[in-house]
Chain A
């Protein structure tokens, strides 16, 4: 397998800082914002964006956690997958929800996340922030804030590693071996 590093620690830090700036700019401040991290790697990313926004605006925006396992549209094609609880305790009605995830690929996770959110209330708007957009959308969904646009082949894999869960910050593109042959 051939691996290529797409983002290192500093690259990821800069991308997340830029996303925080863009979120604040787009929403004219941070007062109405709720960050919602999608389990699992969206959660630490949401916390980092929260810290960045605090550094810029001196406002601590709430971070909530969403598990979309119960909302997948393909669960009947997959082996049984246990779910963890979502933690949405802040009222999301009339607020701007920024969904945070690591990789945007087919868009199906985001579709499920929007369905899940609508069971908690009616946000004024839902925006999407992702660390990596790798293309190959299967639904009419796009990200509002992108750390890195990464053209990929479908057979390639994007691995996001975060200090909180994996011990280091890194995004790697993995090509399967038979592709080179």
Chain B
């Protein structure tokens, strides 16, 4: 494994190994001294062309907990505004001795192209509508922690699947691990080409589910008017306490964040016992430690 770009097509044994590595490394977060010397002397650049708090902080802490030096590069306020191309930005960073690049970009496929261009490992922190593989991985780890297994789980991904890179990474990840995935959302926001079970009836979609991943209603991507109104969306697809109690009382409820409380998910669900959202954030750090250790720990020349 040289880069970490997508979960689609990843070997199930590689995926399993990453999951158990993340489970092992999560122990470090509960130590009195949250630092291991493993990546001492390694430098990691977080290069973010899109807004992010959780993912960027999570990668930064993951690197720091493993003793790597981490720099954060935001496109705004940088030479990008003076017209520097992404390739030049990246080449300049590696010329400064960066050992790995974590990149988020609004255009699908950019991290993959960058991986071909650079000699150092590239980690995709979300690209356009393509994938967000560390989020997919942390959703697997969080679901496994709640349910004890992944194989055979019934998973519903609810919301704007069309515009969601998280949905795609989740779909490939859960399928590879032997779970059964159903996509739930408005018909025009369900991409038919993914070739999985889908429904626009929330009850049908989540009834008896083990895991519900609630996607954020992406206001910034709804300018084309793909849903009539937020109120209608909430009426048809909002995850509310009564609906959850009636249709999926045993489900673990996840959300990649940031949440629109009272739109796609209600506060009583989000803060209730079925919610795994803070587990997701916690395992997010462990998962990113696992990916960094997998790519930077150990030589790949042997």
- Chain A residues packing against B (C-beta within 8 Å): 67, 70-71, 75-88, 115-116, 119-121
Contacts and interface: CB of A to CB of B under 8 A. Distances in A.
Nearest to A115: B37
> Which 10 residue pairs spanning A and B have beta carbons closest together?
A80-B298, A85-B27, A70-B36, A85-B24, A70-B38, A119-B33, A79-B302, A84-B24, A82-B21, A79-B298
A121 B32 CA distance: 8
A121 B25 CA distance: 19
Nearest to B33: A119
B300 interface: yes
B66 to A, nearest CB: 8
Contact of B299 (A67, A78, A84, A87): A78
Nearest to A67: B24
A75 B36 contact: no
Contacts, number: 58
A73 B255 CA distance: 39
Given A75-B298, A80-B297, A115-B37, 16 more contacts: A67-B24, A76-B297, A76-B298, A76-B299, A78-B298, A78-B302, A80-B298, A82-B17, A82-B21, A83-B24, A84-B24, A85-B25, A85-B27, A86-B27, A119-B36, A121-B32
A120 B32 contact: yes
B82 interface: no
A84 B36 CA distance: 14
A57 to B, nearest CB: 29
B35 interface: yes
B129 to A, nearest CB: 31
B180 interface: no
B294 A80 contact: yes
B159 to A, nearest CB: 34
Contact of B300 (A71, A80, A87): A80
Interface string B17-43: 100110111111001110111100000
B-side interface size class: 20 to 34
Nearest to A121: B32
22 contacts: A70-B37, A70-B38, A70-B66, A75-B297, A76-B299, A79-B300, A79-B302, A80-B297, A80-B298, A80-B300, A82-B20, A82-B24, A83-B21, A83-B25, A85-B23, A85-B26, A87-B27, A115-B37, A119-B32, A119-B35, A120-B33, A121-B32
Contact of B31 (A80, A82, A119): A119
A71 B25 contact: no
Contacts of B32: 119-121
Contacts of B37: 70-71, 115
Contact of A71 (B17, B21, B24, B36): B36
Nearest to B24: A85
Interface in B254-302: 293-294, 297-300, 302
Q: Which of B20, B26, B28, B37 has the most chain A CB atoms closer than 10 A to its own CB?
A: B37
Contacts of B299: 76-79
Contacts of B27: 85-87
A70 B27 CA distance: 12
